[in-house]
Structure 1
Amino acid sequence: MPDDLLQPLREMLSEVLLRNPFWQKKLQGIDVATLQSPHDLDRLPFLFKPELVADQAAHPPYGSNLTDPRTRYTRVHGTSGTTGRPLRCLDTAESWQWVLSCWEQIYSLIGIRDDDVFAFPFSFGPFLGFWAAFEGAQKIGRMCLAGGGLSSEARLRMIEENSATVVCCTPTYALRLAEAAAAMGMDLANGPVRAIVVAGEPGGNVPAIRERIESAWDATVYDHWGMTEVGPLAVEPANDRGGLQMLAGKCLAEVIDPATGKSQTPGELGELVVTNLGRWGQPMIRYRTGDLVRERPGSPPLSPYLEGGVLGRTDDMFIVRGNNVFPTSVEAVLREFDDVVEYRMTLRHKREMPHLMIEVEPRPECDTIAALCERIHRRIKDRLNFQPEILAVGVGELPRFELKGRRFIREQS
C-alpha cells in the first residue's frame, strides 16, 4: 500500500495508551504496531455514546477518557442530549487548534473568498459547532458577526446592514429566517448572501429542502457534517455537489452494516463510524455515530464520499405496513409543497399497529387547505407506500426552531 493510512492512528494511540485510563482498559491487549491496513480496524472495538455517558457518571464530571491532566484542558462543550444524557467533551489548546484546522479545510473546499463576511445567526450555547465554525472563520481572517441573543428579525437586519455574504446555521433556521424576512417585507433573494453553510440535522442534501432555501435566499447551500464528540469532519465540496466528503487526513471513516458491524458494500445504506485523529486529549476511536449514509463506490479508503449526505438515523427509523420509513424521507416530500410552512409528525400505535399523524401548518394565503392535505396524503402514499393521517393546524400553531428541529415525536405505547 503506497500510503500508510493508519500511521496517524498508531501515533495517537502510542501516546493515548500511556496515560488515558479509558482507552487503556478498552484496548487492553491490542498491539498498536500491528495496525497496518484498513482491515485491521476491525480488531478495535466500537465506541458507543452510552459508554461515554456511563463513564462520566462513574467518574464525574468528565469521565476517564482524558489523556492529559485536567489543568491542560481549556474548553468544555456538550452534546444536546436529544438521545440521552448530555455528554461533556473537552479540548486542550492543541486539540482545539486541530478543530479549527478542520474548519480551514471545510472553508477551502466550499470556495470561501477573501472578501467574504460571515454571519452566525444563533445563540452560542454549549455545542461545539457554533464556536468552532465562528473561530475557524476568524482564523482564516474573515469578519464574523455573532447573532447570539438577537431575534430573527434583528439577525436579518444584521446580515443586511453588514453585507454578510456567508450564513452558517441549521437548515431549519435558514427556512425560519426566510419566513421572518417575508413577514418583514425583506427581499432576501436580492440581498448580499451568496452561500449558506448548513449543519446540525439532515436537510442540506435533501433536494426539496435545499431548493426551498436556495430559492428564498438566491444563495448556494453547502451541507456540512460534524458532532460535538468527534469534531467537524465532512463538507459538501463546491466542485462535487450532492453529498459529503469526509475530510482527508482528519479522520478515519467507515460505513458498516448497523446490524452486523461488518463493513458495508459501497452504495448500500450503512452507519457512519468515525475515528478522529487530532483530539488526543479525549479521542474517539471507531465511534458509532448513528447516522445512516451511503458510500460512493470508488471512494478513497477511510475517506469516503457520502452520496446524499446523512440520510437518516438508526434510532429514528420506524416501520409502517412493512415499510422502513425515516422522518427525513417524509420531510423531503412535505418540503415539495410550497404551501406548507411548518409540520410535526407523531408516531403512535392504533390497535397495536404503527400510525403516523402529520400536522401541517399552511401558509396564511393558502385557501385550499383540504385539497393540500389530500395532495400530501396521496404523494406520501405513492412515494413511501403507506397512508399517514394529515391534519391541518392554524397559522402559528406549530413551534419554530433556531437549532435542530424537533418535528418527530415517538409516543410510548
Structure 2
Amino acid sequence: MSMHTFWNPRTETLDRPGLERLQAAKLRRVVAWAADRSPFYRQRLADAGVTPADLHTVADVTALPLLTRDEWMAAQTASPPYGTLPAIEAHQAVRVHTTSGTTGREPLRALDTRKDWAWAAEMWCYGLWGAGVRPADTAYVAFGYGSFIGFWGLHYGLEKIGALVVPGGAQDTANRVRQIVDFGATVVASTPTYALRLAEEARALGVDLPSSTVDKVILSGEPAGSIPATKQLIEEQWGARAFDTAGMTEVSTIFMFECAYQPGGAHIIEDHLLEEVLEPGGDTPVGYGELGERVVTSFGRSAVPLLRYRTSDLVIREPGSRCACGRIFDLYSGGVRGRVDDMKLVRGTNVYPRAVESIVRGHPEISEFQLRISREGTRDEITLRVEAGRADDGLRKRLLDELAQAHEGLRFRVEFCEPGGLPRFELKARRLVDDRPEMVPAHV
C-alpha cells in the first residue's frame, strides 16, 4: 500500500496497541487541561473524583462522567453567551460558531482558537486526502458561510492540501451551477440534499453535469451521504464519485470519512478522537456490529474541551480491517444511521427518516419529498408527499408497498405535489414535520 494513500501515514497505519497508547496519553493531557482551565469540568471532575493520573488506558475513559447537550445548554444559559465549558476567555478566541438550529432548539455557541482551527483543518485533510483530493484539484464549496460551522473546516482543509478553492457563498443555486462549470471544478462539497438540488438546477439550465470536470463530490451534514440509494442517485446525476463525511459543531470538525476504497462505511479519525458506542440512552458499551449511540472525547479542541459527549448519533462500529485501504482506524458501517431523537412513534410503529429516504431515493423520478405526521381525531396519520412530475398510480402503489414492508405493515398515505411545491434546502434538510397537537413540533 502506497504511503501516498494516507494523509498521516504514521498514525493511520499504527497497530492497535500503539494507537491505544497514543489515545491514552492524549486523554490524560486533555483531561488535565480541562480540569485546570474549564470551570465546568473542574467541578464535574472533582465531583466524580477523577484525576488525569487515574487514566492509564483508553478503557479508563469510562471513569469520566458523560456529558449531554442539555447540560451544555444549561451551562450556556446560566452564564451567557458561552457558558462555563470554555477553557479560555472569549477574547482569546478568534471565531465563534453555532449549531445549525434545524432541530428547533436554541443553538450551541462554541469558541475556537487559532490552534483549534488549524486542528479542524487537519481533520478535514484526513477525509479529503482519503477521498483522493490533491493539490491539482479545483474545489467548489457550495455553502453559505454563515455562523453555522458547516464547511468552514473543509475550506481550510482544502487550502492546507493546496487545492484551489472557490467559495460558493451568498448566491442562488443557478449561479453556483454556472460557477462550478465556469471554474472547471473537479471537486464539489455540499450536503447530500443540496447535491441533488444542484443537479436538479443543472438539468433546468441545460447543463450536463456528468460531462463536466467534476469527479468527486464530498458530502457532509446529513446521514443521507451513507444511504446507498441516495449516494447512487448523486453519483448518477453528477457522473462523479460521492464520499461521505460527518462532523459536528461540538467537535468543530469531522470525526469520520469515507476513503477511496468505499467499504460501505466511514473511518473514525481515531488518533484525534476517542469514540465509544453505548446502548442508546444508557451507559453500557455495545460490541462490534451492534447499533448504539456515539459518545465522543475530542483530543484537539482546546477552547471548549469535550469529554464523553453523548451525540445522539446512532452508529454500528466495525473493525478497520474490513477495509482494504490499510488504515487501522475502525469504521462506522453505513455512516451515521440516524439519531436517537429521530424516531417517531406512529400507531405503535417506529418510523425513522433514514428508512423512508432509502425507499424514496430508490425512485429517481422523485425530485423531492416530505414526511408529515398529523392527528385526525384520535388517530395518527403519516403522509409521504413527493414531487414526481405528475401523479402516478403505479408509483404510488410501489411506495405504499415498500413503506408498509419496511414499517411492520404501517399504512402511509402518498400525496403528489406540483413541481417546486416542496421546500428546497441548502444546508441540513428538514423533511419530517410532526404536526400532532399535544407534541412539541419537531423538524429534523
Give the structure-2-normalised TM-score.
0.88
Which residue is equivalent to 2:421?
397
Which residue is equivalent to 2:369?
343
1:133 is the counterpart of 2:154:
yes
What is the CA deviation profile of residues 149-195 of structure 1, one whole-angstrom value per residue up to 9, with x for unaligned ones?
A: 11111111111111100000000000001110111111001001000
Which residue is equivalent to 2:166?
145
Preserved CA contact (<8 Å) 2:387 2:416: yes
1:173 is the counterpart of 2:194:
yes
Preserved CA contact (<8 Å) 1:76 1:90: yes
CA distance in 2, matches of 1:136, 1:36: 33
Letter in 2 for 1:411: D
Letter in 1 for 2:64: L
CA distance in 2, matches of 1:19, 1:116: 41
CA distance in 2, matches of 1:297, 1:171: 26
CA distance in 2, matches of 1:330, 1:64: 40
The alpha-carbon deviation at position 355 of structure 1 amounts to 2.6
Which residue is equivalent to 1:275?
297
Which residue is equivalent to 2:403?
380
Preserved CA contact (<8 Å) 1:129 1:232: no
Letter in 2 for 1:185: G
- Within 5 Å, give how 1:18-57 maps onto structure 2: 18-28=36-46, 29-57=49-77
Which one of 94, 99, 111 corresponds to residue 74 of structure 1? 94
Preserved CA contact (<8 Å) 2:355 2:406: no
In structure 2, the residue corresponding to 1:7 is in which secondary structure? helix
Letter in 1 for 2:338: G
Preserved CA contact (<8 Å) 1:123 1:147: yes
Which one of 75, 87, 91 corresponds to residue 112 of structure 2? 91
The alpha-carbon deviation at position 213 of structure 1 amounts to 0.5
CA RMSD of aligned residues (A): 1.8
Which segment is superposed worse, 371-380 or 396-405? 371-380
Letter in 2 for 1:7: A
Which residue is equivalent to 1:182?
203
The alpha-carbon deviation at position 321 of structure 1 amounts to 4.8
CA distance in 2, matches of 1:304, 1:347: 37
- Within 5 Å, give how 1:279-294 maps onto structure 2: 279-294=301-316
Preserved CA contact (<8 Å) 2:320 2:329: no
CA distance in 2, matches of 1:398, 1:298: 40
Which one of 327, 339, 353 corresponds to residue 327 of structure 1? 353
Which residue is equivalent to 2:392?
369
Preserved CA contact (<8 Å) 1:252 1:303: no
The alpha-carbon deviation at position 229 of structure 1 amounts to 1.0
- Within 5 Å, give how 1:230-241 maps onto structure 2: 230=251, 231-241=253-263
In structure 2, the residue corresponding to 1:186 is in which secondary structure? coil
What is the CA deviation profile of residues 333-392 of structure 1, one whole-angstrom value per residue up to 9, with x for unaligned ones?
A: 0111122111110123345444311111112xx4x5222212211121123322111111
Matched-pair identity in %: 37
Which segment is superposed worse, 27-36 or 306-315? 27-36
In structure 1, the residue corresponding to 2:225 is in which secondary structure? coil
CA distance in 2, matches of 1:234, 1:381: 33
What is the CA deviation profile of residues 39-94 of structure 1, one whole-angstrom value per residue up to 9, with x for unaligned ones?
A: 32221111111111111111111111121232211110011123311111110111
Which residue is equivalent to 1:200?
221
CA distance in 2, matches of 1:304, 1:400: 35
Which one of 26, 32, 35 corresponds to residue 17 of structure 1? 35
Preserved CA contact (<8 Å) 2:371 2:383: yes
C-alpha distance 71-259 of structure 1, shift in aligned 2 (>3 A): closer
CA distance in 1, matches of 2:340, 2:88: 33
What is the CA deviation profile of residues 202-241 of structure 1, one whole-angstrom value per residue up to 9, with x for unaligned ones?
A: 1111111111100010100000010011121110111243
Give the structure-1-normalised TM-score.
0.95
C-alpha distance 112-81 of structure 1, shift in aligned 2 (>3 A): same
Gap runs ≥5 in structure 2: 1-16, 323-327, 439-444
Which segment is superposed worse, 27-36 or 151-160? 27-36
Preserved CA contact (<8 Å) 2:134 2:161: no
Preserved CA contact (<8 Å) 1:253 1:303: no
Letter in 1 for 2:83: G
In structure 1, the residue corresponding to 2:94 is in which secondary structure? strand
